[in-house]
């Protein structure tokens, strides 16, 4: 395939993935807004936040990375040997995942009260009892999560990225449909069931793509072959390496449940802030990671080290070029953003202030998350899971130590839990960068550092411009309301982004020039 055609294809695929991710994130944001409007930051919201977050954390901590990180590299190695070998490995791997997720779900449902007491000990008796009931209904989500993750790996390895990117949008739309039609009748308990059905629907969405590649699943308990043994060896490292974000989130709930505020509960406020952060960062970071990881795995299987290095560097510089201005703008307009998104119904102005302060402190974590996600996948594509494992352990240790000092010793609020999350992500990213230097001394060469250096003045201009516009507009309004805050956030964000792009262009930022070049080549190759 000519280079121009390949470039155009790459741009189109990543563009479609980003568009699907944007749609999913927007629907997820609307879901969060509707939830906040109906339940605010009160007892039911606190119970649901604890139960839903713990359900996802159980999967992320126990099996999520083993599925995502182990499956794709090993599946691509099997594909290199033939379709039949790949099919046998898939049957055995998926069979194991089904058995494990079913067992974890059953144990968790039986011991739900103990799980809630362990993970959120500060909840009062009524809230803990409700959270336990909700957890029982949602835990089977992890079974469908495991199945969807495996099927996603199969589709992405065959170059089919759109359906995996769309499935989250479909599940979020299903939950919104529940809010519209059924919430008034079934309430928070029905919402837990709706979440479970939404995850089932994700698996259904992937079926047409699997049919197109003639995928067939045949349960197999022959779990001791060579490739499965490789998966077992990779799994512990994959699990630990993925613990950083879910453990910080779950531990954040633990520490937040011990923080007391008058009128509002800190657990849902921390949850709302985290959701906004993941929505803002996920569009670019996960779109790039989900596209790059199968490519890196294939390049490693083919032994093409040069293209591996080039692909990883391009992905890293592109992700940081997008994430840096987003994190700075989010930090600048956090109060306006939270107010516009959440402040209605049962969500009070006090909850807005608490959530916005937490979000502003959490926003810098986006930059470290981009580095961590991409470099983690690069090491696993090479079959070197020890480095991501060490990085995750260091990050978790830094986060937990900071939380103990900030909350337990000094008595600080949830804003300091957000700062601890930033420190944890930064520590993990630092370990990975040092390890990359050990593997490839030329990776962070002068050209790369020069490109990263261009982000400093561009980012400074972005923040100063957004902050100046925000303060200037604040002086113009007679009183603040929904529309004034929306306009303030929008104009400030646009001005900050415009200044960032202008400065980056004047400094001849390579990611921007490559993007424009690829777009032109893609148009020529259509």
* Distinct helix (H) and strand (E) counts, the chain: 22, 0
The C-alpha atoms of residue 406 and residue 443 are separated, in whole angstroms, by 36
Taking a C-beta distance cutoff of 8 angstroms, is the pair 240, 250 a contact?
A: no
Residue by residue, pLDDT tens for the chain (526 residues) are: 444 444 445 555 666 666 777 788 788 878 888 888 888 777 888 888 888 877 776 666 666 666 667 787 788 788 877 788 888 888 888 888 888 888 888 988 898 888 888 877 778 888 889 999 999 998 888 888 888 888 888 887 787 777 887 888 899 999 999 999 999 899 889 999 999 999 899 999 999 989 888 888 888 887 777 788 888 887 777 778 777 887 888 788 789 888 876 666 787 888 888 878 877 776 666 666 766 777 787 788 778 888 888 888 888 888 888 889 999 999 999 999 999 888 887 788 888 999 999 999 999 999 999 999 889 888 888 878 889 999 999 999 999 999 999 998 898 888 999 999 999 999 999 999 999 988 888 888 888 888 899 999 999 999 999 999 999 998 887 677 888 999 999 999 999 999 999 999 898 887 766 655 544 444 433 2
Chain centroid to Cα 423, Å, comes to 17
Nearest Cα neighbor of 146 from 271, 80, 235 is 235
Cα-flanking dihedrals φ and ψ of residue 120, to 5°? -140, 70
Taking a C-beta distance cutoff of 8 angstroms, is the pair 379, 70 a contact?
A: no
Which pLDDT belongs to residue 519? 45
Please name the residues in contact with 427: beta carbons below 8 A apart, sequence gap of 6 or more.
Answer: 394, 395, 397, 398, 399
Which pLDDT belongs to residue 198? 92
């Amino acid at each position: 395939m000519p280079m121009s055609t390949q470039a155009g294809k790459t741009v189109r695929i990543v563009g479609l993935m980003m568009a699907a991710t944007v749609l999913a994130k927007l629907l997820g944001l609307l879901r969060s807004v509707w939830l906040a409007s109906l339940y605010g930051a009160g007892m039911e919201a606190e119970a649901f936040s604890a139960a839903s977050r713990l359900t996802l954390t159980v999967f992320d901590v126990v099996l999520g990375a083993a599925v995502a990180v182990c499956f794709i590299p090993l599946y691509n190695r099997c594909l290199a040997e033939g379709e039949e070998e790949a099919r046998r490995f898939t049957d055995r791997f998926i069979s194991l995942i089904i058995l494990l997720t079913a067992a974890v779900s059953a144990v968790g449902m039986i011991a739900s009260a103990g799980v809630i007491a362990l993970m959120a000990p500060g909840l009062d008796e009524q809230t803990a009892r409700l959270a336990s009931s909700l957890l029982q209904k949602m835990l089977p989500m992890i079974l469908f999560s495991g199945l969807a993750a495996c099927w996603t790996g199969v589709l992405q390895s065959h170059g089919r990225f759109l359906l995996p990117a769309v499935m989250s949008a479909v599940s979020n739309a299903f939950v919104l449909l529940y809010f519209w039609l059924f919430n008034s009748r079934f309430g928070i308990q029905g919402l837990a069931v709706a979440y479970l059905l939404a995850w089932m629907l994700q698996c259904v969405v992937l079926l047409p793509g699997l049919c197109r590649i003639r995928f067939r699943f045949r349960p197999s308990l022959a779990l001791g072959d060579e490739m499965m043994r490789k998966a077992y060896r990779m799994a512990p490292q994959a699990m630990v390496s993925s613990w950083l974000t879910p453990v910080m989130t779950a531990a954040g709930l633990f520490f937040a449940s011990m923080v007391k505020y008058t009128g509002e509960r800190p657990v849902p406020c921390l949850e709302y802030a985290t959701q906004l952060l993941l929505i803002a960062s996920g569009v670019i970071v996960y779109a790039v990671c989900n596209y790059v990881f199968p490519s890196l795995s294939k390049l490693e299987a083919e032994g093409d080290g040069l293209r591996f290095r080039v692909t990883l560097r391009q992905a890293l510089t592109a992700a940081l070029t997008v994430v840096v201005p987003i994190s700075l703008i989010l930090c600048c307009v956090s109060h306006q953003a939270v107010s516009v998104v959440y402040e209605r119904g049962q969500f009070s102005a006090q909850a807005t202030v608490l959530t916005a302060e937490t979000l502003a402190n959490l926003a810098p974590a986006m930059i470290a998350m981009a580095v961590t996600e991409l470099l983690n996948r690069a090491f696993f594509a090479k079959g070197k899971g020890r480095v991501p494992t060490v990085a995750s352990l260091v990050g978790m240790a830094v986060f937990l130590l900071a939380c103990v000092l900030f909350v337990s010793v000094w008595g600080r609020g949830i804003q300091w839990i957000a700062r601890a999350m930033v420190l944890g992500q930064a520590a993990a990213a630092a370990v990975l960068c040092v390890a990359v230097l050990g593997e490839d001394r030329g990776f962070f060469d002068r050209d790369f550092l020069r490109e990263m250096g261009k982000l400093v003045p561009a980012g400074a201009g972005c923040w100063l411009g957004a902050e100046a516009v925000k303060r200037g507009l604040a002086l113009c309004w007679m009183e603040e309301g929904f529309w004034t805050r929306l306009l303030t956030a929008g104009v400030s964000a646009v001005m900050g982004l415009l200044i960032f792009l202008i400065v980056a262009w004047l400094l001849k930022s390579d990611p921007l020039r490559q993007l424009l070049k690829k777009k032109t080549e893609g148009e020529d190759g259509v």
